[in-house]
Structures are given as structure tokens and as C-alpha cells.
């Protein structure tokens, strides 16, 4: 699979004709009038043709080499748009630009016709997509498995300042990238009962009887690695009813009932993250998780046996399964069920295979994210699996008791089934059923070992490890920031695209005045591009000659968008008192979605929009301070926001962010970070240097101590007049004169509920860090120098490095040679 073979697949000479052919024969449309979406679709199908040929060659190489493969199980992928990523990774960009120009279009305009794939929520899903890019680029045999949701998380709009949710039907017009594989339908079962029986040798066996069934149809999306012929795939499962239509019900006049089974079955892959407050929602969520797992393991077993009869004793030598967080953990019980109930392996042999096959990535220390399931729900939906989990727990408890006799507290803490709440702890099942457990940043991994799972770390020496997250430079620098990428390539050559450590060669150029000027010009181009986007999407103008201060991420109290707002209100007050204040003009951009049922996060969005309305309407702030909430934050929006940012807000409460990857993307694009010692901020600081980052606030240990000690936030407010003023303005309705009590709950969350997220504790330190930001930004050369050094020292944070760490240390897989 050498690089030279790739050119055979590009075949750019026929690209224009292929586009026209797809419009006519595949889409059944006329070439005229030349509709942009029609031509985007024709181009996408033409690119897919070439991808398929590359993918078939990759699959042949897998089977010829008999390589071990990794299967990455994730309930979420957040790939964004596919077209430009495929074109750039396949080396087709220039040829495509010329071809579509000849057809009367701009490639960039056609790319804007594509909708973001609604397959994920935030950082977890985007990380999975970065890893798919790196698996392909590094030549790691394997693929990703997920669900083909019809509706993504939701489309966010802002109406009268409030978040409103609309259905994200990203497949409304179909998707040229999704390839249905009808030939590999698998049956997935739910409900029914577990039935004991004796086999012909008198052995006690179990089978799953009287179950309901749903069919899982695989749909492939092909993902090319950069610069080589390696193409991997996401195999996403769509639910199809095993009972299409009841003619008897229809003929008896029950038209709805005739379709009912089909509708209920296909709900499983209908929407990402259904509301799990009602019991029906919880059951649907559990069914989604098992649906992914059951279909995936069937497919993995089929692949394992495809070259010929294969013994399961060698399964773990050929198969590695990575569980991306706790969502797919039911896979542990499912593989045991297949090995014990269907393949008739002894329990001990099956358990050894299971533990050697699975590895588990934990992404959170938040208690609400450590998933548990009620035993009655699990037993009703998956009766045999509950029995298997109970047996795993019984045997594990016996191990613990043998090593720690009489320690009932340890037994209770480590139990997979929590007898007190009658719930199954899925993270415990993942730990016990895997050979490796990793956190995603050094601090996060330390917290897991020392505070979240200390009993397991002591019980399994060496099982817990760390793999710090990374991001793909192809998407997040080469594609998202073509202006800066061109400048970097001109300075140090193109090798950085596949070896991000090459960026360190930029460091000496931080002292070159002409290069700093070019660096600033690239940033200004990106800011102008973002300004045009904001004007088009939000109808507001923003000035590219201001400091772009950006916080874009999921809305959550621990991420502390509220602390950001308090700084903005304080800056507003300072500028009102002293119009000549020596600070740079600033544009504050905040974006992110709040979960539909998260009252406080949605109220904070309303506060952001209210503060923005007041500031933007104040003539005294014109040219000094502007604020904007960016609706519907998503991958394609991030590709415009991140390259334009001067300042990256990473201000979560220390000890609560597992890693973050937005922090890496911003720094890679030359933004300076203001943040706490949380997640991967610590490692970013170590790589870029303490002088090139703005760190403030309590450490994770200090946060824990403050919570234990208990501090009266009101005393902090009394001692800080600027904080008192900002909170008073918010609480008395200065920003909501028509509804003065609108933001009372926000203030009460700080003053009357203990300020759990330490907003008041870190307020003054945050302002002092922002004062340092202001002073530095007033010196453009000094700011540009630090910006260059940030990019130059981000080589460690490539997803290629992370994937190779997984491959060497956890999956034990060698890349295919080119």
C-alpha cells in the first residue's frame, strides 16, 4: 500500500464528467439551472467513488497481513462535514478547485452546502472522530462503531435571548457519504427471559427465550488517512423492524397498529440522547447502548471468522475493543454471553478472553456521568445479561474478600452491583472486565487512581494508565486554518501535517519581526472571515481589530461561563467609570448548547444574551467592548471560530474537566490560553511554557479542601467591591429591567448554595489574569511572539501521538507498512 498507488484512485481528469454523471443518473436531476446543493452532491459522490476503491485496497491489505484490528466503540462521533476533509486528506484539493471553477462554482461555497453530521454531542464524540482520522493516517488496522442517528443532539436557536431546541434532521436530504450494507443485517434481542436447560452432555446451559427482535443494518462512512492509501470506516447501525407491516391489522381498519411495531423498533436509532427522565426514555437509552454493542460484536465475530474457521482461544490476539466511556460497557456482558451461551466455552476461559479483549477509557470524574442502571430495568430489557453481571460480580467479590478478609467497606465500594441502591455500576463492570483503564490527561488519570477508583487501582496494580487526548492537525489546522497553514508550510515545509512535533521548528521564527507581521496578518484574515460569518448568521458586526476573547464549549456550571460573564460585567463597569482606561478593545464570543432539561445552564445563556444586549446598545462601549452569543455551536462553526481567536477561555473548576480538546485546538492555532490548572491545561502549560499562558485560580487540591472546609461566599463578596457590584447588577435586574427577578436563581446558586464551582473564589484571580492579558495585547510584537510559541510547542497534542500510544501500550497493534 505505497503512496504511489494512491494517484490511481484520484483520477482527477474525469472528475468533472463524474460530477455531471452523478447529477444526472444518481440524483436524477438536470444540470441546469446549476444548483449549488446539486453540484455539491455530485462532487461528494464522485469523491466517494474514489474513496471506495481506496477502502477496498485497505481491506485487502488487512486480510492479506492477518493483522490484529482495533474496534473503537463509541455512542458518539462528531465528524463535522466530510467533503473538505476527504478532499484534503486525499490530496485532491487543487484539482477539485479547478474542476468546480470550470463548472461555475467555488469549492468553498459547495462545501458550505453540506450539513454537519448529527452523530455526537461534544468533546467525547469529536475526540472519537479525531482518533478515526489518526487511525487511518497512521495505518492502524481497525474501524469505529456507532449508531446512525436520524436526528442529532438538537439545533439551537436563540429566541428573545433564550435557547430553543429544534430537531436536527441532518439526513433530511440524504447523505452521499452513508453506504447501506443490507447484506449484513443482524438480529438484536430485547426483553424475554433467560431459560436454563441441560445440553446433550448434561451440562447446565442458558438461552435467551421469547425475546422481541429488532434488525440492525450497518451503514459505512469511509474516512481517508492523510497522504497515503489507507482508508478506515465508521460502521454505524440503523434500526429496522423485524415486523415491517401487519396486513391483518390494516385490513381490520387499524392503520396505526399495522405500522406500530416498525415505528417502535426504529425509534432505537432515531435520536441522539433521548430524554431519559421518564422510564420510557431510560429504557430507550439502554436499548440504544445494547443495540450498538450486540450488532457490533456480531460483526466483529463475523470478521474474525471471515478468513476461515477461527478458534476463540485466539480471539484477543486478533481483536482489540476500546470502550469510549461507560456507554458501551454492556459489551462485557454481551461477549461473555456469546462465549458461554453460544460458543459453550468454560466460564474461566471466556472471562480470560473478555478481559484481554476490552480496554476502557474513562472521560469523567463527575458522579452523574459515571453511569449506573437500575437492576429491575436491566433485568427487564436484558434478562440474561443481568444474570451474567451478577455472576461476574459474585466471582469478583470472592476475589476481593479473599485478599481483604473482613473488609466489608471495601467490598461495598468495589461491588459492581450496589446492593444499597439496587443499581449496576457500569464503570466498575468496565474496570473489572478490561485489561487496561485509561484517563485522558495526567491530572484526570491521577484523580481516577487516587480519588475516584483508589480501591481498584490498588487491587489491579498497573491496570490504570494515562493517554492524554490529542486532536488531528489535518482538521484543526490544515483544513480549518488554510491561511496560517500556508504560512507554516512556507516556513518549515509540509511534514508537520503528519508529524506535529515538526512545529517546534517555528520557535526561532518568533524572534523574526517579518514573520511576526505575517503571523498577525494571517490572524487578521481569520478574524475578518469570522466577522463575515457572524454578520451573516447573527446580523451583528464585530471588529477584527479588537481582541477576540472566545469561550465555546458545552454549557455546564463547572465550565464556568458564569465566571466569564462576571469578568465582562466588571470590565463594562470599569469602562463606564473611566472611558480612557488603557485596555485593548475587546469582542467577547461565547457559544455552546445547554441540555434541554438543565435549568441553570439555560438561565446562564439568557444572562449572557442579556448582558450582551445591554453592552452592545450602550453608545459608550462602541469601539471598546462588544459581546455576542454564537447560536448552534458545532464543528463547522468551530472551524471558523478557533482560527480567529486571540484568547482561549479554559476556565473550568480545577479537578472537574477530564482533559478538554478545545484547549488544544485553540493553542494549535495560536490563541493564548487563559485558564485554570485543570485537565490538559496543565500539560499545555508545561509544553508551551508558563510565560506563554495565563494560569489563575485554585488547584484541584485547593478546590477539594475548600469544599471540605466550607467557605461563605458572602464573605468573599463583602471583601470585593467589584464582585459585589457585578452580582448586585445581575440580581436586581439591571440586565433584565422588564423582569427584575429573572437572574435571581443565578446569584442564589453562588451565595446561598455554597458556590460549589468556586466562581466567587476564583473571581479576583481571574480579573488579575485578564489584566495581564490586556497589558500583553497592547504590545502586538510581544503577543505575536507568544502566539507563535504556543503553536510551535503543541506537537505533543496530536491525536496521532495518542493513537500510537494506544496501539503500542493497550491494543498491541502494529501499523500497516506503506
**3-state DSSP call for residue 669?**
coil
Residue 557, number of CB atoms within 10 A of its CB: 18
Distance CA 29, CA 22 (A): 9
Q: Are 704 and 759 in contact (CB under 8 A)?
A: no
What is the Cα 649 distance to its own chain's centre? 18
**Closest residue by Cα to residue 697 from 791, 567, 796:** 567
Predicted confidence at residue 277, as pLDDT, reads: 63
DSSP class per residue in 620-650: GGTTTEEEEEESS--HHHHHHHHHH-SEEEE
Predicted confidence at residue 1, as pLDDT, reads: 40
What is the Cα 57 distance to its own chain's centre? 29
Q: Give residue 248's pLDDT band: very low, low, confident or very high (50, 70, 90).
A: low
At residue 92, what are phi and psi to the nearest 5 degrees? -105, 5
Q: What is the pLDDT of residues 396-433, one digit of tens each?
A: 999 999 999 999 999 999 999 999 999 999 999 999 99
Distance CA 348, CA 399 (A): 14
Per residue, the 3-state secondary structure of 143-181, as one string, reads EEEEECCCECCCEEEEECCEEEEECCCCCCCCCCCCEEC
Per residue, the 3-state secondary structure of 478-508, as one string, reads HHCCHHHHHHHHHHHCCHHHCCHHHHHHHHH
pLDDT average, residue stretch 685-703: 97
Q: Say yes or no to pLDDT of 102 above 50.
A: yes
Predicted confidence at residue 244, as pLDDT, reads: 57
Q: Say yes or no to pLDDT of 734 above 70.
A: yes
- DSSP structural state of residue 122: S
What count of Cα atoms within 13 Å lies in the side-chain half-sphere of residue 475?
A: 35
pLDDT average, residue stretch 314-323: 96
Predicted confidence at residue 260, as pLDDT, reads: 53
Predicted confidence at residue 4, as pLDDT, reads: 37
Go through 184-217 and write b for each residue having 16 or more CB atoms within 10 A of its CB, e for each that does not: eebebbbebebeeeeeeeeeeebebeebeebbbb
Distance CA 634, CA 515 (A): 32
What is the Cα gyration radius of the chain? 27
pLDDT average, residue stretch 283-309: 92
Angle between helices 330-337 and 279-305 (to 10 degrees): 50
Q: Say yes or no to pLDDT of 441 above 80.
A: yes
Predicted confidence at residue 5, as pLDDT, reads: 40
**3-state DSSP call for residue 815?**
coil
Q: Say yes or no to pLDDT of 256 above 60.
A: no
Distance CA 330, CA 527 (A): 46
At residue 47, what are phi and psi to the nearest 5 degrees? -65, -40
Residues designated catalytic: 363, 553-554, 559, 661, 665
Angle between helices 36-65 and 93-102 (to 10 degrees): 150
Q: Say yes or no to pLDDT of 180 above 70.
A: yes
Q: Say yes or no to pLDDT of 472 above 60.
A: yes
Predicted confidence at residue 251, as pLDDT, reads: 61
Predicted confidence at residue 291, as pLDDT, reads: 98
Q: What is the pLDDT of residues 10-57, one digit of tens each?
A: 678 899 999 999 999 999 999 999 999 999 999 999 999 999 999 999
Distance CA 89, CA 87 (A): 6
- DSSP H or E stretch at residue 801: helix 799-805
Q: Say yes or no to pLDDT of 247 above 60.
A: no
% residues pLDDT > 90 (the chain):
85
At residue 228, what are phi and psi to the nearest 5 degrees? -125, -175
% residues pLDDT > 70 (the chain):
94
Name the one residue in this structure whose C-alpha cell is 454471553: 337
Alpha-carbon torsion (263, 268, 271, 277), positive or negative: positive
Per residue, the 3-state secondary structure of 693-743, as one string, reads CEECCCCHHHHHHHHHHCCCHHHHHHHCHHHHHHHHHHHCCCCCCCCCCCC
Per residue, the 3-state secondary structure of 531-595, as one string, reads HHHHHHHHCCCCCCCCEEEEEECCCCHHHCHHHHHHHHHHHHHHHHHCCCCCCCCEEEEEECCCC
Q: Give residue 818's pLDDT band: very low, low, confident or very high (50, 70, 90).
A: low
Calculate the average pLDDT of the chain: 93
Distance CA 335, CA 412 (A): 26
Name the one residue in this structure whose C-alpha cell is 524572534: 511
Q: Are 669 and 643 in contact (CB under 8 A)?
A: yes
Task: Give the three cell numbers for residue 614.
Answer: 445591554
Predicted confidence at residue 2, as pLDDT, reads: 38
Cis peptide before 33 (omega within 30 of 0): yes
Query: What are the counts of helices (DSSP H) followed by strands (DSSP E) for the chain?
Result: 34, 23
Amino acid at each position: 500500500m505505497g503512496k504511489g498507488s494512491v494517484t490511481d484512485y484520484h483520477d482527477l481528469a474525469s472528475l468533472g464528467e463524474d460530477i455531471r454523471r452523478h447529477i444526472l443518473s444518481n440524483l436524477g436531476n438536470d444540470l441546469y439551472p446549476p444548483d449549488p446543493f446539486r453540484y455539491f452532491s455530485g462532487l461528494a459522490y464522485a469523491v466517494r467513488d474514489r474513496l471506495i476503491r481506496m477502502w477496498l485496497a485497505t481491506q485487502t491489505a488487512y486480510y492479506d497481513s492477518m493483522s490484529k484490528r482495533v474496534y473503537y466503540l463509541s455512542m458518539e462521533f462528531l465528524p463535522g462535514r466530510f467533503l473538505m476533509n476527504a478532499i484534503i486528506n486525499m490530496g485532491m484539493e487543487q484539482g477539485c478547485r479547478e474542476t468546480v471553477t470550470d463548472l461555475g462554482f467555488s469549492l468553498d461555497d459547495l462545501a458550505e452546502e453540506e450539513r454537519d453530521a448529527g452523530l455526537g454531542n461534544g468533546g467525547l464524540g469529536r475526540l472519537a472522530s479525531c482518533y478515526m482520522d489518526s487511525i487511518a493516517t497512521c495505518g492502524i488496522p481497525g474501524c469505529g462503531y456507532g449508531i446512525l442517528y436520524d436526528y442529532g443532539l438538537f439545533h439551537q436557536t436563540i429566541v428573545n435571548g433564550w435557547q430553543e431546541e429544534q430537531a436536527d434532521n441532518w439526513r433530511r436530504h440524504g447523505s452521499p457519504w452513508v453506504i447501506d450494507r443490507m447484506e449484513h443485517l443482524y438480529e438484536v434481542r430485547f426483553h424475554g427471559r433467560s431459560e436454563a436447560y441441560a445440553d446433550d452432555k448434561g451440562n447446565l446451559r442458558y438461552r435467551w427465550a421469547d425475546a422481541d427482535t429488532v434488525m440492525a443494518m450497518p451503514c459505512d462512512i469511509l474516512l481517508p488517512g492523510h497522504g497515503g492509501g489507507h482508508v478506515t470506516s465508521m460502521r454505524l447501525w440503523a434500526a429496522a423492524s423485524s415486523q415491517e407491516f401487519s396486513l391483518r391489522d390494516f385490513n381490520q381498519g387499524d392503520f396505526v397498529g399495522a405500522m406500530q411495531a416498525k415505528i417502535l423498533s426504529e425509534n432505537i436509532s432515531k435520536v441522539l440522547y433521548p430524554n431519559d427522565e421518564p422510564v420510557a426514555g431510560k429504557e430507550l437509552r439502554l436499548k440504544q447502548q445494547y443495540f450498538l454493542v450486540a450488532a457490533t460484536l456480531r460483526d466483529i465475530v463475523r470478521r474474525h471468522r471471515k478468513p476461515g474457521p477461527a478458534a476463540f482461544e485466539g480471539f484477543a490476539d486478533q481483536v482489540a475493543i476500546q470502550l469510549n466511556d461507560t456507554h458501551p460497557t454492556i459489551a462485557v456482558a454481551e461477549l461473555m454471553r456469546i462465549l458461554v451461551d453460544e460458543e459453550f466455552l468454560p466460564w474461566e476461559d471466556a472471562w480470560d478472553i473478555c478481559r484481554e479483549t476490552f480496554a476502557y477509557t474513562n472521560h469523567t470524574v463527575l458522579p452523574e456521568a459515571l453511569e449506573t442502571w437500575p437492576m429491575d430495568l436491566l433485568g427487564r430489557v436484558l434478562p440474561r445479561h443481568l444474570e451474567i453481571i451478577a455472576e461476574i460480580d459474585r466471582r469478583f467479590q470472592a476475589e476481593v474478600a479473599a485478599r481483604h478478609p473482613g473488609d466489608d467497606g471495601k467490598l461495598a465500594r468495589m461491588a459492581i452491583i450496589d446492593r444499597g441502591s439496587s443499581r449496576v455500576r457500569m464503570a466498575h463492570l468496565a474496570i473489572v472486565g478490561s485489561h487496561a483503564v485509561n484517563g485522558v490527561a495526567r491530572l484526570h488519570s491521577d484523580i481516577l487512581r487516587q480519588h475516584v477508583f483508589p480501591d481498584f487501582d490498588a487491587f489491579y496494580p498497573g491496570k490504570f494508565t494515562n493517554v492524554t487526548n490529542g486532536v488531528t492537525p489535518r482538521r484543526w489546522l490544515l483544513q480549518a486554518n488554510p491561511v496560517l497553514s500556508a504560512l507554516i508550510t512556507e516556513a518549515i515545509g509540509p511534514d508537520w501535517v503528519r508529524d506535529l512535533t515538526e512545529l517546534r521548528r517555528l520557535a526561532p521564527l518568533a524572534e523574526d519581526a517579518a514573520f511576526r507581521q505575517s503571523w498577525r496578518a494571517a490572524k487578521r484574515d481569520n478574524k475578518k472571515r469570522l466577522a463575515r460569518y457572524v454578520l451573516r448568521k447573527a446580523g451583528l458586526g464585530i471588529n477584527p481589530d479588537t481582541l477576540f476573547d472566545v469561550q465555546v464549549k458545552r454549557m455546564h456550571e463547572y465550565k464556568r461561563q458564569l465566571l466569564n460573564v462576571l469578568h465582562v460585567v466588571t470590565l463594562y463597569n470599569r469602562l463606564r467609570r473611566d472611558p480612557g482606561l488603557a485596555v485593548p478593545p475587546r469582542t467577547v464570543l461565547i457559544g455552546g448548547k445547554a441540555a434541554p432539561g438543565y435549568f441553570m445552564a439555560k438561565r446562564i445563556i439568557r444572562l449572557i444574551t442579556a448582558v450582551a444586549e445591554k453592552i452592545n446598545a450602550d453608545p459608550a462601549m462602541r469601539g471598546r467592548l462588544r459581546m455576542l452569543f454564537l447560536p448552534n455551536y458545532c464543528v463547522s462553526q468551530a472551524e471558523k471560530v478557533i482560527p480567529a481567536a486571540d484568547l482561549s477561555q479554559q476556565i473550568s473548576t480545577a479537578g472537574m474537566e477530564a482533559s478538554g480538546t478545545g484547549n488544544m485546538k485553540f493553542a494549535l492555532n495560536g490563541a493564548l490560553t487563559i485558564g485554570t490548572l485543570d485537565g490538559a491545561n496543565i500539560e499545555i502549560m508545561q509544553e508551551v511554557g508558563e510565560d506563554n499562558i495565563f494560569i489563575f485560580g485554585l488547584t484541584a487540591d485547593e478546590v477539594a479542601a475548600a469544599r471540605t472546609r466550607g467557605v461563605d461566599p458572602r464573605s468573599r463578596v463583602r471583601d470585593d467591591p467589584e464582585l459585589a457590584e457585578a452580582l448586585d447588577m445581575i440580581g436586581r435586574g439591571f440586565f433584565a429591567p422588564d423582569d427584575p427577578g429573572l437572574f435571581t436563581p443565578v446569584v442564589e446558586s453562588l451565595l446561598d448554595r455554597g458556590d460549589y464551582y468556586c466562581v466567587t473564589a476564583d473571581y479576583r484571580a481571574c480579573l488579575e489574569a485578564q489584566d495581564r492579558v490586556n497589558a500583553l495585547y497592547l504590545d502586538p510584537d510581544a503577543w505575536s511572539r507568544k502566539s507563535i510559541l504556543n503553536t510551535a510547542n503543541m506537537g505533543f497534542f496530536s491525536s496521532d501521538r495518542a493513537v500510537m500510544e494506544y496501539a503500542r501500550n493497550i491494543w498491541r497493534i502494529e501499523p500497516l507498512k506503506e
